[in-house]
Structure 1
Amino acid sequence: MSNDHPAIDLDAALSRLEGWEKTPAGAISRSFKFKDFTEAFAFMTRVALLAEKANHHPDWSNSYNRVTITLKTHDKNAVTQKDIDLATAISAL
């Protein structure tokens, strides 16, 4: 693997990321619930800025006050450190 996508111990990483889970598709995912649509959209805006800065973009969906984010490094078809770093930054919001 290249240095920008190092192998990780996914179970160990997830143990430090509250609410994030492995998906059957080999990604990690978390759902967030907010008071209303405006709060959910504001959160998505903050995540978008983090993702753009990291040049690593999530798959996500929004339905009213819920946002579900799924992370996987597509060119590696696996969860990499880039995903863990972005999940950590998202959780800190």
Structure 2
Amino acid sequence: MAGTLDDDAITTHLKELPDWSRAGDEIRRELTAPSFLAGIDLVVEVARAAEEADHHPDIDIRWRTVTFALSTHSAGGLTVKDFDLARRIDRIATEHAAQ
């Protein structure tokens, strides 16, 4: 099991992820898709990446707005796994924006 990160480590990781913010023991990013179906396509691709990583975000879909929240529940807080998946979500979001 991955160990939780302290506040300094979390702050350092968040500096590399400017679209993410901390909310307690999770990090969050909200994206606005050009259409509802584009948002669903984004979610599907993130779901595949999450399966590969064996680390699954909480996902909230509100029409074109998709919010991803990451926390390592089994560790009781934020771990490197959360930031690794956040980077992967950022890459996927960038690819979707270019389409």
The TM-score normalised by the length of structure 1 is: 0.90
**1:5 correspondence with 2:34:** no
Asked if 1:88 corresponds to 2:87, the answer is: yes
Q: Secondary structure at the match of 2:14?
A: helix
Runs of 4 or more consecutive aligned structure 1 residues displaced over 6 Å after TM superposition: none
Q: Secondary structure at the match of 2:68?
A: strand
Q: CA RMSD in A?
A: 1.1
What's the CA shift string for 1:20-57, capped at 9, x where partnerless? 00003x11001000111011000000000000000000
What amino acid is aligned across from residue 30 of structure 2 in structure 1? Answer: S
- Which residue of 2 is the match for residue 33 of structure 1? 32
Structure 2 distance, partners of 1:28, 1:38, is: 25
Q: Which runs of 5+ in 1 are unaligned?
A: none
Q: Percent identity?
A: 30
Determine the C-alpha separation between the residues in 1 that align with 2:4 and 2:77: 9
Aligned-partner SS, 1:60: strand
User: Aligned equivalents of 1:75 and 1:6: distance in 2?
Assistant: 10
- Structure number having the greater helix percentage: 2
User: What's the counterpart of residue 18 of structure 1?
Assistant: 18
TM-aligned CA distance change 1:76 to 1:7, over 3 Å = closer
Q: How far off its partner does 1:18 sit?
A: 2.1
